[in-house]
Structure 1
């Protein structure tokens, strides 16, 4: 039950829809823009690789760990209120990022920007659901997903254009402008709504889950620099395990848990959670790493890099709609597995080519493959359990999706750093291996070239990157197998099975 007034006139509803779509456009643009800007930010602030890594990871960690909590707060205190506060904070932080005096403040502000993004997205989606019913609601959320995909697809290109003409700070100014326009659409027309039966906030679950993500990701980011056996890294990993155990204990004892962990006993539910993890390693990590490679290591302009990234991301605007049509003939789980197989083939191809046209072809194939599960996994998340628990299923799925993105980025960057260091061994003094390898991962070839010839650095980077792509292809193939085994048939978890968990 929701506290709603009479339905708004159509212009009012679509004004709200425009506001939320603008939010869905600006959030992925902020994510991809940070990746494209990283080499330029590194040069501007003479930043260390670990400091640069937090430009993306700080945003993703705060965003992922607070997404469900923000949704609960929106139900409790008002969806309009939380959306307006979230977008206002997002715009303000974007302005502050544009004038950030150093890398430390930029990283801190990126974490705060992630908090604002989680607040705006959760409350915005909840508010949108109140304005449309039936088929109109389905169309609205489908267009919202397409808008989000457009932000991912064109974010690198727009960022490249802005950097080319006005510098990296213009990226954050543009996101602030879009956030302001969204507020102008939403403030006069969006109605306040709450859920009187909303669950209270699981504070213990939120804190321990956030602690788990922060300690584990920090350990992975710092490990190449300090070593996996160093006291700092061991302490962080022990803390992560402790947070995990306490989180499980809290969730199992809570009457209103943040995550219903017992659902993970069901294979089909597990299969749905595997899907976003698979797309993280075949798509999301490339959204970050490829611009760093093209701009920082290979010397491409920001605009050229943005154009090349279209090959990977543009399929997200078309393939999800094709995937939805194909479900008439094939189960969604089977289509997702096929898509992951295609993406794995694209990654393998990308690891073997150096010609630009073939690189674009391999990226296009990877994007097409990823587009199949990308367009179906949101629907699968709420179809594998009865509709009575759809909200809970969507919340768990979105948390898994966003949280795994930050972790995947940290792990992939650490693996790439290790691989580059391996290929540099013999050409670089052992003491400098780690810092040079990490610098290359973040696209900082200039600092490393003072001690090592550029061609040696590029050769080592390319060899390491190709090995990484093969590892990513193998992992994607594994997830395709698991998804097919768990989701290859059409079925829904029976209600009694779910009720027996609670």
Structure 2
């Protein structure tokens, strides 16, 4: 073999295009769902889902995805990455079909969990296949294109969701996945070569089960408490039980010789700091994204399509600034760039504490643009720090840990910030609905979508109740935004204290760390 000969697969760029299609369908579905939440809450045109059920429709996918990501990566290495990708696409397509025709919120939540299983099979397989079919000299460019697909999905998801909801029923936002997954299965079968790891790791079944049980229990307690109040023993039993199981998970992973999450890596500050930073910012940002869709569609009265278009400044900022962030890191260092990105994100999230029903919409657009700019300058320096902190053979582990923490933090952000929103709304709306009939009072007092849903039954009292619901929601949104901004501000502190500066950029990875070097 000649020294300059390209060792990549002959069809590597066509294979990359297929893998991008596989990734798009996973990311696109979540961004589409943001503009469909209000419709799903509608008892006539949707499923009449409560706020808690809407939170679970998001989190059932996210928690299952995060919990199985490591395990499916190992299974793909053992059984074959193309095989795992095909299984994931088939599961994702079938689950999308089940979601589209769900007859109740519970059925939708279950179908979304199955979609999480499919997504967890797809994501690690695509990255492993890229590493297998590309020459090392082209691999960075290929992964950059793969990552850019996420930005594309963020940009087109809300608009596509809005277009579908304008012309079809709510199930179309899930049904759109089916032809894409069918195309993906055909192209993967025709173009993608099979590959396996000659020395695959062992599957950590106990660790996976502990993490899923702990996270589901904790999230259930938070969401249920936010929806029905935290004064009941069941809520605290599930929250404390979930925390206890997660503590057991950490202890088990520390002793395991094949952990699904190598917690010893968190002893390395250059690894732990960016992972914590990613977790904090996604916790805050996804919580705000959850309530901003209700604000735009209910309080401001925009259609799903208009709402999708209003999210575009966020996506445009991501597409413009994310590719330039790596250059900024080389010039100013990861600490400065990530801290600036977190400051912009904190300011944009905190700005929702000052947004009300009369705020000019251009102000909201500027806020979304600032948030997109800030988050575009967080992921590249965080990823650079994670990868530089680990030996090359552990690069895949670093990427998997980062993805898992991001997904878990997003789920907990929706749960916690959604619970703060629900509790604040219930308190604010209570006086206005005190004299309504019991059934109507319960529905209107539960969420703003419930108030709008029963408005037709209220007769002359409808305008007064709707106005009170808007006021209660905006007030609750302000408190939720403050919480989100405080969490993001903690990320600023982490970046300034532990992220590497420009002078540290060339420092070698800490391979001599005993905890890291001895990790399997």
TM-score if structure 2 supplies the norm length? 0.90
The aligned counterpart of 2:173 is 171
Aligned length: 494
Which of 279, 295, 298 is equivalent to 1:296?
Answer: 298
Matched, 1:415 2:420: yes
Which of 219, 222, 239 is equivalent to 2:221?
Answer: 219
Which of 56, 65, 79 is equivalent to 1:77?
Answer: 79
The aligned counterpart of 2:381 is 376
Q: 1:464 to 1:401 in 2, by over 3 A?
A: same
Matched, 1:228 2:217: no
Deviation digits for residues 11-48 of structure 1 (CA, Å, limit 9, x no counterpart)? x2222211110122111211122222122122222333
Q: Offset of 1:289 from its aligned partner?
A: 2.4
Contact 1:297 1:444 in 2 (8 A): no
Deviation digits for residues 431-464 of structure 1 (CA, Å, limit 9, x no counterpart)? 9988645422xx4441364476211111121122
Deviation digits for residues 389-443 of structure 1 (CA, Å, limit 9, x no counterpart)? 2222222222111111111111110011122233335334399988645422xx4
Q: Offset of 1:268 from its aligned partner?
A: 2.2
Where do 1:54-93 residues align within 5 Å? 54-93=56-95
TM-score if structure 1 supplies the norm length? 0.93
Unpaired runs of at least 5, structure 2? 1-5
The aligned counterpart of 2:517 is 499
The 2-side partners of 1:332 and 1:130 are apart by 29
Q: 1:435 to 1:250 in 2, by over 3 A?
A: farther
The aligned counterpart of 1:141 is 143
The 2-side partners of 1:297 and 1:445 are apart by 12
Where do 1:334-373 residues align within 5 Å? 334-353=336-355, 354-373=359-378
Where do 1:91-106 residues align within 5 Å? 91-106=93-108
Contact 2:286 2:410 in 1 (8 A): yes
The 1-side partners of 2:86 and 2:289 are apart by 29
The 2-side partners of 1:463 and 1:153 are apart by 29
The aligned counterpart of 2:253 is 251
Contact 2:24 2:153 in 1 (8 A): yes
Matched, 1:390 2:408: no
Q: 1:27 to 1:120 in 2, by over 3 A?
A: same
CA RMSD of aligned residues (A): 2.2
Q: Offset of 1:7 from its aligned partner?
A: 5.9
Matched, 1:458 2:470: yes
Q: State the secondary structure of the residue aligned to 2:432.
A: coil
Where do 1:467-486 residues align within 5 Å? 467-486=479-498
Q: Offset of 1:298 from its aligned partner?
A: 2.8
Where do 1:102-251 residues align within 5 Å? 102-251=104-253
Q: Offset of 1:233 from its aligned partner?
A: 0.9
Q: State the secondary structure of the residue aligned to 1:496.
A: coil
The aligned counterpart of 1:439 is 447
Unpaired runs of at least 5, structure 1? 1-5
The 1-side partners of 2:441 and 2:217 are apart by 25
The 1-side partners of 2:55 and 2:441 are apart by 18
The aligned counterpart of 2:31 is 32
The 1-side partners of 2:446 and 2:387 are apart by 40
The 1-side partners of 2:119 and 2:347 are apart by 34
The 1-side partners of 2:350 and 2:309 are apart by 22
